[in-house]
Amino acid sequence: MAEIHELSAVQLRDALRSGELSARQATDHFLDRIDAENPHLGAFITVTAEQAQKDAAAADQLHALRSRDGGALPPLHGMPVAFKDLTDVAGVVTTHGSAALEHKPALADGALPVALKAAGVISLGKTQVPEFGLTAYSENRVAPPSRNPHAFSRSSGGSSGGSAAAVAAELVPFAPGSDGGGSVRIPAAACGLVGLKPGRGLVPAGESTGDPAQLVVAGPLARSAADAALLLDALVPCTAPHSAGRQSAGRPAPADAGYLALTAREPRQLRIGISLDSPWQAVFPFLPDREALDALADGVARLEAAGHETSAAAIRYDNRYPGAFTTAWTAGIGSARISPQREALLTPLTRTFRRRAQQRSAAKVNESVGFLRQFQRDTITQYAQWDLILTPALAQTPRPVGWFTGATHGGGYWPAAEWAGDADDDYRKQCEYAPWSSMVNVCGLPAISIPVHWTGGVPGSGLPMGIQLIGPMGSEGLLLQVAAQLGF
């Protein structure tokens, strides 16, 4: 058998269920990898080795019991995962990536750990995030930055950057992330992973406090479409809306009706619209890097070779979008409970957007949310001319660590004096780096990042670059099918 970390998530699931591997074997193996790799990767903020080993022992006892009585095991029995450090896990500190908060253990699990622990997973710890999940890079003042496993000088993206780095470096087989403006798809693209943002309302979990526009949804980060589908099956209840094929007329879904089963089937022939248009262009004019255009061309060639029809899609976006999105996106930070004497510990970007959010009226926030709902209707109407919309996943290659903030470092995390960048310049860089992400959250649509290209020309050589496919509501299964059809 291959090394445990080299198994796909589906293969590891099968080995754990059959008893070929014990949960304790798998847990200890991944903990050893974290111990060896995390010091130079920065993927984990907290490792909960002792609790993980206890949970693995309990999982092995359950396996022995079910072997005797013939009972069913949970679907992700013994599977190691990690949760990004915006998510409460009982008994573990949630830092939210902020030095301005008092770091106390959470009293209870959040919705995402509740769902996945019920499915049988074993949590190995908490992964690196930007402060309050606000940015497209995972760097903060509480722990070393999360680095890209393909080039340690580069960022793993954000805000699910630590989770993406952990999956790409094979420290966990897959991981849940949360996406409010690209926070699953951006790090997936940066780290060469499949990253799926489900449609609004499909997954009943995610960090949604202070989210007036309902932007945030949880979704899987994985090394393949099948592995992402396996995790999505555990996240989505069979009674969820838009879970086509999983539940019908109140009857239980058949065993072969999950997302994993869908990835084994060929999708129908699709009409795919190709677009470089972005709602950020009016405020932040940008030109995609050659590597982003190469990835797009590679994606088009793969899709056409698979039998799909592609054509140019000219999408018109309202130029009021940037201000409205920024108002809604940063509304929650204005009401975060931070004592006045600790506000100086916030990063420059967080501190700036917190001050602006506190100066806005509730009426202004409501006006922005109302505009975004109209933007959603107008954009979805345009997208409906095609089955899927295709864009590059990112406009630039994965950025160097410290590039957004102007920060310097000496190998560890950065104290306040070394965060030299301007908040507005930081934000502009992020919007130019990932200009095709946030409008998908505003529209509430599913989207997937697929790693179709490498700057070195050979998979694993150079830096990964991806494409993004955006589908209509309920198309999560179709997006996963297409990713699997393309060989991912």
Give catalytic residue positions: 84, 159, 183
Report the greatest alpha carbon distance in the chain: 65
Query: Exposed (0-12), middle (13-18) or buried (19+): which is 2, by Cβ within 10 Å?
Result: exposed
Which H helix or E strand runs over 228?
helix 225-235
The beta-strand segments (E) located in 122-260 are 122-127, 147-148, 151-155, 174-179, 194-197, 217-222
First to last CA, the chain: 22
Peptide bond into 163 cis (omega under 30): no
- Positive or negative, the Cα torsion across 200, 201, 203, 206? positive
d(CA 425, CA 108): 38
CA atoms of 96 and 102, how far apart (whole Å): 10
3-state secondary structure of 464: strand
How many angstroms separate the Cα of 183 from the Cα of each of 178, 230, 347? 6, 20, 19
Q: Rounded CA gap, 306 and 347, in Å?
A: 46
Instruction: Please give the structure tokens belonging to residue 445.
Output: 């649509």
Alpha carbons 64 and 19: distance in angstroms, whole number: 9
**230 within 8 A of 260, measured Cβ to Cβ:** yes
Neighbour tally for 3: CB within 10 Å: 9
* 240 DSSP 8-state letter: S
Give the total residue count for the chain. 488
**CA 454 → CA 34, 172, 228, 272, 482, distances in Å?**
26, 23, 21, 23, 19
The pair of three-digit structure tokens given for residue 457, joined into one six-digit string: 């020309």
| C-alpha radius of gyration, the chain, whole number | 21
User: Is residue 41 within 8 Å of 81, Cβ to Cβ?
Assistant: no
